[in-house]
């Protein structure tokens, strides 16, 4: 597809590079090329595979961290005109989250260097799996931002203050094999009973939690079973979305208390919930910039999990998530981004950075 003249170049090039987690290399190269073309001071691919672009130099830092990977499922890249949305760009990652990352890149380029400041744009890898890119960034002493903005869709008028935590586990049940005509409970039946008891327990705990952000949210991602001729087994593959007052270990402890007793094995990296303060210089800059662009700003919290949860507690600075796009389109076959909204988000981000870096 030849780039349409009405599609911003950075956005187009990133979305054109299909980059599911683990296959980000071409998209990273495209972003590094764009940093060079737009006059960034420095650009590099780091040891984790992230694309890093730096505008300006000085002791003070602002980090804009977006993710360059997507979920699997390639969507033909195309421009269409939709009722109530105008011209939109279809493509995997247009919303989650190459749209926000491209907006970061273009806004920093439009602003240019600011005396005494490094403004750093990072295209992080692997966010849709284990967030190895963000975990690497959080460990690097070179990053000490005064403000951090994480690229996730929120619509151009909204600022995301926080995300729920997440934790995955397998729960295994095993017992000696018995004849199917016996009255003994099978391993698969034990697994089903355990899941029903977990959902009942979380429903009880959620009874007085009115908002989705405050609730425990278990999800059953898979069920497998089998036998070796002597022992039968069943495994539940479980996810959990966690509120602020339930850290991952408390979630695992709860799983261990549910009857019938199964073997609980955590999987991957657990991430605690995070919520930032809405009264900071960063949020004030966003409120002013959104109003200046003709918008009506609002704050939201999300029930998913993002790289904000990983880097914000480490950096300890004001941090929010922001970016153009409708997050209900994340991971769907209909993912698309209105081009007008993209341009509005770029204007807002430029206004935010101007406010934060003014003498």
* Catalytic residue set: 69, 127
DSSP 8-state code for residue 261: P
DSSP 8-state code for residue 186: P
CB atoms within 10 A of CB 193: 15
- By the 8 A CB rule, do 352 and 285 touch? yes
3-state secondary structure string across 224-259: EEEECCCEEEEEEEEEEEECCCCCHHHHHHHHHHCC
The secondary element (H helix, E strand) that includes residue 196 is: helix 187-205
Nearest-angstrom CA–CA distance, 99 and 92: 10
Phi–psi pair at 38, nearest 5 degrees: -90, 5
DSSP 8-state code for residue 146: S
- By the 8 A CB rule, do 145 and 311 touch? no
Residues 6+ apart with CB under 8 A from 279: none
Nearest-angstrom CA–CA distance, 56 and 75: 36
CB atoms within 10 A of CB 112: 13
Residues 6+ apart with CB under 8 A from 141: none
Structure tokens at 253: 């402890």
């Amino acid at each position: 597809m030849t780039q349409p003249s009405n599609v911003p170049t950075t956005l187009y090039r990133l979305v054109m590079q299909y980059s599911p987690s683990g296959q980000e290399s071409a998209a990273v190269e495209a972003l590094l090329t764009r940093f060079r073309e737009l006059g960034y001071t420095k650009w590099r691919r780091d040891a984790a595979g992230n694309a890093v672009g730096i505008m300006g130099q000085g002791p003070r830092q602002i980090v804009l961290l977006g993710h360059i990977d997507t979920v699997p499922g390639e969507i033909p890249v195309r421009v269409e005109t939709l009722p109530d949305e105008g011209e939109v760009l279809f493509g995997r990652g247009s919303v989650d989250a190459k749209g926000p990352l491209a907006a970061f890149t273009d806004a920093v380029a439009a602003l240019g260097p600011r005396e005494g400041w490094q403004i750093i744009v990072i295209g992080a890898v692997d966010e849709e799996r284990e967030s190895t890119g963000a975990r690497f960034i959080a460990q690097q002493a070179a990053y000490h931002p005064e403000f951090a903005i994480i690229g996730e869709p929120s619509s151009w008028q909204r600022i995301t203050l926080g995300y729920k935590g997440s934790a995955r586990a397998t729960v295994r049940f095993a017992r000696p094999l018995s004849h199917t005509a016996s009255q003994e409970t099978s391993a698969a039946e034990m697994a089903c009973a355990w899941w029903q008891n977990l959902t009942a327990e979380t429903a009880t705990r959620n009874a007085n939690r009115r908002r989705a952000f405050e609730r425990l949210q278990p999800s059953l991602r898979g069920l497998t079973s089998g036998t070796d001729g002597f022992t039968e087994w069943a495994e539940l593959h479980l996810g959990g979305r966690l509120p602020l007052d339930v850290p991952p270990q408390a979630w695992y402890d709860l799983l261990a208390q549910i009857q019938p007793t199964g073997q609980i094995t955590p999987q991957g990296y657990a991430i605690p919930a995070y919520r930032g303060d809405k009264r900071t210089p960063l949020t004030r800059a966003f409120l002013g910039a959104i109003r200046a662009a003709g918008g009506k700003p609002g704050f939201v919290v999300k029930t998913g999990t993002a790289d904000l949860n990983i880097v914000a507690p480490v950096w300890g600075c004001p941090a929010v998530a922001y970016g153009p796009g409708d997050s209900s389109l994340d991971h769907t076959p209909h993912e698309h981004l209105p081009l007008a909204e993209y341009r509005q988000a770029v204007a807002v981000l430029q206004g935010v950075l101007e406010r934060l870096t003014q003498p």
